[in-house]
Chains A and B, each alone.
Chain A
Amino acid sequence: MRRIAILLGSCAMSLLAATGAYAQNKPADEALVEKGAYLARAGDCIACHTRPEGELFAGGRPMPTPFGTLYTSNITPDNETGIGKWSSDQFYAMMHTGRFPDGGLLYPAMPFGSYTKVTRQDSDAIFAFLRSIPAVKQPNRPHDLRFPYNNRSLILGWRTLYFSEGEYKPDPKQSDEWNRGAYLVEGLGHCAMCHTAINALGGSSESEAFQGGLIPMQNWYAPSLTSNKEAGLGEWSLQEITDYLKTGISPRGAVYGPMAEVVYNSLQYMTDADIRAMAVYLKSLGQGSPPGAARATVTSSESSLLLTLGKTIYDRECASCHGAQGLGKPPHYPPLAGNQSIQMSSAVNPIRMVLNGGFPPGTSGNPQPYGMPPFAQSLSDDEVAAVVTYIRTAWGNRGAAVSAREANALRASPLD
C-alpha cells in the first residue's frame, strides 16, 4: 500500500481542499459536505479508494497483503457499482462495526478497527460528502486472495482477537485538546494500522496499539509511537512534532517511506488546531528514556575495519548534506547524530534510505523538498552495510551494526 500515491486533477483538488473554517454562514448541507470533505482527508480515504490517474473514489486500487491482493471498493454514489443505495445508517454501521449493509464482514484492510471510534455526527458528514461527489460507474474488481483467506468467515477469528467496537470515549482527566488529538489519531487517522505490529490479515491488537512493526509487503518499519527508544515523541517539542506532521520536515528528521503518503494525502490538509491537538496527544504517548547503549558483540578489530570503511564512504557520499558531524542542514537535510529513527533495533529504514534515497512529501508548507539520491546503483552490499553501521554508531548514536546480508535482502523491496 505504499503506492497509494494519488494523482488528482486540479478540479478534484479544489473539491477536496480542506478549509479550516467550515460551518460558518453556509447553508446547512453545504457546510456538512465541506466538513465531510475535511474529515475524509483526516481519514485518508482517497489514498486507498482512488487509483493513480483513476476517477476520484472509484476504487480498484490494488492492496498487496501476504495473503493475496485486495482491490478497494468504488465509494462514489453510483447506484449499481458504488454506494448510491446506501443510507447514512448503513454507512455508519459499516464504519462502526465493519459490516456491509447485508451483514457481511469487511476485511480489516479497510481500517474499520480505527474508524469504529468515529462519532455518528462525523460519519454522517463523511457520508454527505461522499454523496456529493460525481457518481462513477465502475464495478468492483473481485479480490484475489489465496485459500483459505478468500473465505470471509475467517474474519470472525480476527475480529474476536483484535476488534473492539465503540466510539471514542473522551478521557475527562485530559484537556479538550488532548482528547481531540486522541480522537483523530486513534480514529480517522488510523495511525495504528502501520504503527502496530501486524497480525494475520493486518490486524493490530489494542494493547499493542502504536508499538511499531514491520509493514508486510513493503519492507518498511513503522516505529513505535509509545517508546522514546523508537519514534516516541516525548523528547520532541510541540513545534517539532507539528512541523513534521504538517510540512513533512522538521529539525529532528524528515518524513520518508510510507509515512510520506500519510502526510501528502492527509496530514498536510489538517488545520493547525487539529495538528497541534495530535501533537499534544502524541507527545504524551512517548514513554521511557531515549536509546541506551547497544551491546557490542564483536571484537574491536572487526568493528574498527567496518567503521573505517563506513567512515570513508560517509565522508565521500553523505557528509556534503548530512555534515561531517552528522548535524545535517536542518530542516532540509535531517541530522543523523542523535536521530532516533536510525538507531532503532530494526535497521530496515536507514538501509532502505541509503538504497533508495527519497524526497520528503511536497506539501503546502514545503512545496519544493530537497532530495536524497539513491545509492543502490553505486554502493555494494558491504558498502551499504558499512555506511549504515557507521551512522548508527558514530557521534554517540547507540544503534547496532548491520550486515551485508540485511542490505542485500532489502534490494528486492518493492518500490511501489
Chain B
Amino acid sequence: MRAKGDSVQTAEPRHKRWHLLGPALSVLLIGSAAIAQTPEQAPDTIQERLLACAPCHGVIGEGTSNAYFPRLAGKPAGYLTNQLVAFRNGRRRYPPMNYLLEYLPEEYLAVMANYFAAQKPPLPAPVAPDTSPQMVKLGEQLIEKGDFNRGLPACMSCHGPNLTGMEPAIPGLLGLRASYISAQLGAWRYGTRTAKAPDCMQIVAGHLTEDDVKAVAAVLASRPAPAKLDPVPKGSYGLPFPCGSQPQ
C-alpha cells in the first residue's frame, strides 16, 4: 500500500554507496569500561515528545528548507487533527508519516495538533512567481474571484479574505511553497488525498486544469503575510458549498 505518484520518496538518498564498507565487514570491540552513572530523564514536554517531527517540519512546526515539507505552525487545530487522523488511517498518504502515527490514539493526535496550532513563528519570505504575467493574472483571478462560468468559487470564499483560514478546520494558504500546493491539489485530483465527506476540496481541485494549478500555486507562494496571521473565528462567513471537515 505505497502511495501512488509519491514524488517525495525520491528525496531519500537510496542509491548512494560508499564502497569502503563491504558486507563482510565486522568490527573490533571497543573497550568497555563499566558504566556507573544514573541515566537522565527525558524532559516532560510536548516539544520533546515531538522531536520526531522536527527534521521535516521544524521544532515548532515553522517548516524547513525542504520545499515539500509543509509548515504546521499556526494552522487551525481542527484542521491539523483531521490531517493527522487521515494520515494514521491511511486516507492521506505519505508513508514515513503514515508509519510514525500508526499506533497513536486520537487524543494524542489532538494534543500534537494543539501544540503546533499554538505556535506563531513568522512566515517564510514570499517567493516571486516564476511564471508569465498572464499566469499571475489567472492565479489572482481564481484566488480572489473564482470562475463563475466554470462553477469555481474563489479560494478566498473558503480560505478567507486574507487567506488565513477559518477555525476550526479550514487552513490558511500562506507560507506554503508552490511545489507543496500543487502536489496537494494534484493529490486531491488523483484521489490520494481525501478529506471528510462532502470533500469540497476534491470538487474544487477537480475543476482545476494543470495551468490553473500552476498559476494559483505560484501566486499563493508569492503573497506576503498580512498583519494578522490567525485564522478567523468559526462562522465568520458562510461557505459557497458545504465541507465535511468544517461543521457549519
A225 to chain B, nearest CB (A): 21
Within 8 A of A (CB), among B14-55: 14-18, 20-30, 32, 35, 37, 39-42, 46, 48-55
For window 290-314 of A, CB contacts with B under 8 Å fall at 293-298, 300, 302-307
Known: A260-B102, A329-B41, A337-B35. A382 touches B26 (CB 8 A): no
Expressed in whole angstroms, the minimum distance between the Cβ of A400 and any Cβ of chain B is 5
Q: How many residues of A contact B (CB 8 A)?
A: 80
With contact pairs A52-B90, A362-B104, A400-B27 given, residues A374 and B55 touching in the complex (Cβ less than 8 Å): yes
The reply on B58 being an interface residue by CB < 8 A is no
Secondary structure of the B contact surface, majority rule: loop
Contact of A359 with B by CB under 8 A? yes
Contacts of A323 in B (CB 8 A): 39-40
B95 interface residue, CB < 8 Å from A? yes
Give 1 or 0 for each of B89-124: 1 = CB within 8 Å of chain A CB: 111000110111111110110010000000000000
B residues within 8 A CB of A385? Answer: 21
| 21 sampled A-B residue pairs with Cβ under 8 A | A3-B102, A5-B103, A297-B25, A298-B28, A302-B20, A321-B42, A325-B35, A329-B39, A368-B111, A369-B49, A371-B51, A371-B52, A371-B53, A373-B54, A381-B17, A382-B17, A401-B25, A404-B17, A404-B18, A415-B98, A416-B99
Whether the pair A393, B30 counts as a contact (CB closer than 8 A) is: yes
A361 contacts which chain B residues (CB < 8 A)?
103-104
Point out the residues of chain A lying under 8 angstroms from B23, CB to CB.
Answer: 403, 405-406
Is A357 interfacial (CB-CB < 8 Å)? Answer: yes
Given the known A-B contacts A382-B17, A386-B21, A411-B14, are A52 and B89 also in contact in the complex, defined by CB atoms under 8 Å?
yes
Cα distance, A46 to B25, chains bound together (Å): 43
Residue contact A374 to B27, C-beta cutoff 8 Å? no
Could you mark each residue 59-76 of chain A with 1 if its beta carbon is under 8 Å from any beta carbon of chain B, else 0? 000100000000000000
A264 to B106, CA, bound (A): 13
Q: In the bound complex, how far is the Cα of B27 from the Cα of A389, in angstroms?
A: 8
Chain B residue numbers with a CB within 8 Å of A358 are 52, 99-100
Contacts of B238 in A (CB 8 A): none
Q: Which residues of B contact A174 (CB under 8 A)?
A: none
Give B139 Cβ to nearest chain A Cβ, in Å. 31
A164 at the interface (CB under 8 A from B): no
Candidates A2, A5, A261; contact of B88 at CB < 8 Å: A5
Is A209 part of the binding interface, using a Cβ–Cβ cutoff of 8 Å? no
- Where the two chains meet, the residues of B that have a C-beta atom closer than 8 Å to any C-beta of A are 1-2, 11-18, 20-30, 32, 35, 37, 39-42, 46, 48-56, 85, 88-91, 95-96, 98-105, 107-108, 111
Contact of A7 among B26, B28, B88 (CB under 8 A): B88
Q: Is the CB of B52 within 8 A of A305?
A: no
Alpha-carbon distance between A263 and B104 when the two chains are bound, in angstroms: 11
Q: A332-B42, A415-B96 are in contact. Are A296 and B28 (CB under 8 A)?
A: yes
Which listed residue (B2, B29, B51) contacts A373, Cβ 8 A? B51
CB proximity of B30 to chain A, nearest CB, Å: 5
Residue B16 contacts which of A2, A373, A381 (CB distance < 8 angstroms)? Answer: A381
B8 nearest CB neighbor, chain A only: A377
Residues of A at under 8 Å CB distance from B? 2-3, 5, 7, 52-53, 62, 260-261, 263-264, 293-298, 300, 302-307, 321, 323, 325, 327-330, 332-333, 335, 337, 356-362, 367-382, 385-386, 389, 392-396, 398, 400-406, 408, 411-412, 414-416
| B39→A367 contact, CB < 8 A | no
Q: Once the chains are docked, how many angstroms separate the CA of A327 from the CA of B37?
A: 8
Question: Given known contacts A7-B88, A307-B30, A368-B111, what 20 new A-B pairs fall within 8 Å (CB)?
Answer: A5-B88, A53-B91, A263-B103, A298-B28, A323-B39, A325-B37, A359-B100, A371-B53, A379-B13, A381-B18, A382-B17, A382-B21, A386-B21, A393-B27, A393-B29, A394-B30, A395-B30, A396-B29, A398-B29, A416-B98
Contact B39 A330 (CB under 8 A): yes
Is there an interface contact between B16 and A293, defined as CB atoms closer than 8 Å?
A: no
B37 to chain A, nearest CB (A): 7
CA distance A132 to B91 in the complex (A): 29
Given A52-B89, A414-B1, the answer on whether A333 and B27 have CB atoms closer than 8 Å is: no
Known A373-B51, A382-B18, A396-B29: A414·B42 in contact at CB below 8 Å:
no
